[in-house]
Amino acid sequence: MLQFSVRRLLAALPILLGITVIAYFLTRTIPGDVVAVMLGTNADPQVAKLMRHNLHLDQPVVLGYFDWLSGVLRGDLGQSIRSGLPIGQDLAVRFGRTAQLTVAAMLLALALGIPVGMIAAVRRNRLTDQVISIVALLGISTPDFWLGTLLILTFSLQLGWLPPAGYAAPGDNLALFLKLLILPTLTLAFQIMGIIARFTRAAMLEVLGQDFVRTARAKGVTETRVLYRHALRNAMIPIVTVIGLNVGFLLGGTVIVETIFGWPGIGSLALTAINQRDYPVVQASVMLFALTFTVVNLIVDLLYGVIDVRIRYA
């Protein structure tokens, strides 16, 4: 297991490095003089020069990258052009809030998507299966920004049951935090739930047709045990893979969902930074998203070894 883990970790290193390259160069290609845009054309040349230096803009691009990277590795993500504050601290606080939202959404999507997908597989081609498949497909097809808007209109503005937007730290006001969490979580979870339900159904159908399931039934194992112990365990690999890949989907979704619901996480930060051309913040947040995705998928890779022992030695 150790050797397997180390091999996977080493394979991820070039990808992590590549992510920093893309994040850096993408934002360095912004056309026009960023400093002139920021300070206005008749700014003090002394100030402009200092700002250029702080942003590594007075260096060749490649040197700037290595300077920036060495800062990143030491935990220094630079400063926001807009607020002048260091990015790292703000990003850490916001990362926590985004994690609260995405973890809640993923848990909800798993809690609903896996059982519902299993039911659909067991009741294949019956009415239950058809209803579930249609709802799952609707989940994939409904735009999150529309769903979020409709939820706010219905549950906040019409019925007045829940606050429309905002954030409260769970330590300060747990009840309010939970109330504020409901709508954005539903919005984020609906899409992922659809994807997970569809994959669970497909994976279960494949497994349920195999010989070992028939053998288990024939030797008198109860149906629940057949489904959970024999079938689901073997269907877990594709399901876990899909969960890992959809973390990227979920993180991308936070950009819109956090903006609609006023949730002060990284998604809304990234969008504001892009709109304001605050590119050190864009660099840092885009990179953090990609790193999170890569790390989650690395964990998924390692989970394969736990779920299916054969993979460790492959």
Partner 1 sequence: MSGALREATSRPLPQWRRTGLKLLRNRSLVIGSVIVLVMVICALFAPWLAPYDPSLQDTDHTLAAPSAHFLLGADMFGRDQLSRIIYGTRLSFEVSLVSVSIALLLGTLLGLIAATTRGWLDNVIMRLMDMLFAFPFLLLVLAIMAAFGTTLINAMIAIGIVYTPSFARVARASALSVMEQGYIEASQGLGAKKARIVLRHVLPNIRGPMIIQTTLSLAFAILAEAALSFLGLGAQPPTPSWGLMLNEGRDFFTQASWLAIFPGAAITVAVLGFNLLGDGLRDVLDPRLQS
Q: Which stretch binds partner 1 (CB under 8 A): 148-156, 166-174, 182-190, 218-226?
A: 148-156
Best CA proximity match to 19, nearest among 292, 231, 228? 292
CB 112 within 8 A of CB 188: no
Closer to partner 1 at the Cβ: 234 or 297? 297
Tokens 């010989």 sit at which residue?
Answer: 211
Site for partner 1 in 235-294 (CB under 8 A): 248-249, 251-253, 255-256, 259, 267, 270-271, 274, 277, 279, 282, 286, 289-290, 293-294
Best CA proximity match to 201, nearest among 146, 92, 126, 251? 126
Phi first, then psi: what are they for 159, rounded to 5°? -90, -25
299 lines the binding site for partner 1 (CB under 8 A): no
Phi first, then psi: what are they for 265, rounded to 5°? -105, -160
Interface mask toward partner 1 for 58-87; x: CB under 8 A = ------------------------------
131 lines the binding site for partner 1 (CB under 8 A): no
Beta-bridged to residue 79, according to DSSP, are 86
Site for partner 1 in 10-39 (CB under 8 A): 14-15, 18-19, 22, 26-27, 29-31
Closer to partner 1 at the Cβ: 18 or 170? 18
Taking the C-alpha atoms of residue 113 and residue 135, their distance in angstroms, rounded to an integer, is 11
- Kindly tell me the burial class for residue 243, based on how many C-beta atoms sit within 10 Å of its own C-beta (0-12, 13-18, 19 or more): buried
Best CA proximity match to 281, nearest among 138, 29, 87, 96? 87
Residue 150 vs residues 137, 143, 165: alpha-carbon distances, Å: 18, 11, 13
Closer to partner 1 at the Cβ: 176 or 202? 202
149 lines the binding site for partner 1 (CB under 8 A): yes
| Binding residues for partner 1 (CB under 8 A) | 14-15, 18-19, 22, 26-27, 29-31, 137-138, 140-146, 149-150, 153, 157, 248-249, 251-253, 255-256, 259, 267, 270-271, 274, 277, 279, 282, 286, 289-290, 293-294, 297
